[in-house]
A and B are shown apart, each in its own frame.
Chain A
Amino acid sequence: MISGRPNNGWVIWFSLTIALLLSVAPMPGSAEIARPLWLGLVIAFWSLVLPHRGGLGAAFCFGLAQDVLAGTLFGQSALPLILIAFLVLSLQQRLRMFPLWQQSMVLLVVLGLAQLVQLWLNTLTGNRPPTLLFLVPVPVSALLWPWVYVALQGLRQRFAVY
């Protein structure tokens, strides 16, 4: 872990805000089904790279914000996000040793678990998706992981966030 006082925290919040924006951005017709889990990816990145900066708290806050935007119950999308942050934080030391494609594989499982939790919560509130298509965002997000990682890593180094 890098020592030193935390600085430039706004970069983290900024990237999370952009992710939130992307998660409600209009998408053309059928691409809607494959919308990547932007917030999940960005939360995973910051939990992986800066584990001491409280990934769970940020996941909770932005989960609630997403709930308001999507009109779901408070906590309904916060819970999967917290799960993602927790899993990445607990696997963090191993994950950092992996090459990017292998990280993608692990994230495939992590995001899949989060989607399953999301499915249970949706079912509880009476909105059960009729098919397995709700899992499509998972491989899409896993494929996007290397690009997200490189982009955010660049941002982090540019602004010296640690």
Chain B
Amino acid sequence: MLGVRLLVFVVLCVVLMVVDARFDALKTVRSQMGLVLTPFYWVADMPVRIWRGATEQIASSSSLMAENEKLKAEALLMQRRLQKLAMLTEQNVRLRELLNSAALVDDKVIVAELIGLDPNPFTHRILIDKGEKDGVFMGQPVLDASGLMGQVVEVLPYAARVLLLTDVTHSIPVQVNRNGLRAIAVGTGNPDYLELRHVAETADVKAGDLLVSSGLGQRFPSGYPVAQVTEVVHGSGQPFAIVRAVPTAMLNRSRYLMLVFSDSRTPEERAADAAEAQADADQKAAAEGAEAAAPAPAAEAEAETSDSEQAPAASSSTAVSEEAQ
């Protein structure tokens, strides 16, 4: 009798596993159960949150606390801007040789908070408090203040699971910021470093090089810092050099993360759009030049163009600050 029941349940489990692995039929069930079970992470995380709250309370009055919180959010956003700068300045030099103009592309970002870690110590996954209802989607890139952290692998209604860069099943296309050399950075299962695969013995990689995402996998936006090379081992008798790199993101310390909504246009479309915008701007400038012959509105026109330049950045930052609050 007991044996029969065991058989029934085991067969049920195996069928469920196969169906879950091969088909999408159970996705809705999972998301419904996720809706019920996500509070578990909240409750389990509560002691940590209460402790943090208590220490902050002792340290300062409530007004200071609110201000501190606001400043932290601001600092996070500023640091993200800064991250792109290293890559952008390098890239700018290269691009300017090819093009006369480049459109400013800024990604939209929302801030999420870490609410749980994966209970399995051999996988590097975390749970965050933004889900389908906030527009999170499969494969969405996740950052912290200092670099790329990973990507969304599972979306529940009010939570999402993020696979970190260092998980053994994760790899990301990168390039060396100094010279543009491309490589694939693979997770090692060790939270402290990534490895570059199939790097030729003679490749120009040195300890201290910054690796940035190349955007070639069509998943991560290009130009975000990923890791810093710490050692390059050239072993004779081995086909490839062993290159180890430390992730720049604080994978096991960050509590606030950013979800990036990047530009979904292809590079060609982006170039076409940029060219169009440039042509428009030229026409406008010409028209304004003609108008400026009549004396008055020259200063006004100047103000207008500077406004339109700042517009994309401003709109994205307002979106962010809304989310942060």
Interface residue ranges, A against B (CB under 8 Å): 20-26, 29, 32-33, 35, 56-57, 59-60, 63-65, 68-76, 78-79, 82, 86, 89-90, 121-122, 125-127, 129-130, 133-134
Contacts and interface: CB of A to CB of B under 8 A. Distances in A.
A79 B11 CA distance: 10
A82 B20 contact: no
Interface SS majority for chain A: helix
A127 B13 contact: no
B41 to A, nearest CB: 6
Interface in B43-63: 43-45, 48
Interface of chain B, main secondary structure? helix
Interface in B108-165: 116-123, 125, 153-154, 161
A15 to B, nearest CB: 15
B119 to A, nearest CB: 5
Contact of A24 (B14, B33, B41, B252): B41
9 smallest A-B Cβ distances: which pairs? Answer: A75-B13, A75-B16, A129-B122, A74-B16, A25-B44, A75-B17, A32-B121, A79-B13, A74-B20
A23 to B, nearest CB: 6
Contact of B119 (A23, A73, A76): A23
Given A26-B45, A127-B168, A70 B119 contact: yes
A82 B45 contact: no
24 contacts: A24-B41, A26-B116, A26-B117, A29-B252, A35-B119, A56-B9, A60-B13, A63-B13, A68-B34, A69-B119, A70-B118, A71-B153, A74-B20, A75-B13, A78-B16, A79-B14, A79-B17, A82-B13, A86-B2, A89-B2, A90-B2, A127-B122, A130-B122, A130-B189
B318 interface: no
A11 B19 CA distance: 33
A70 B13 CA distance: 16
Contacts of A63: 13
Nearest to A20: B40
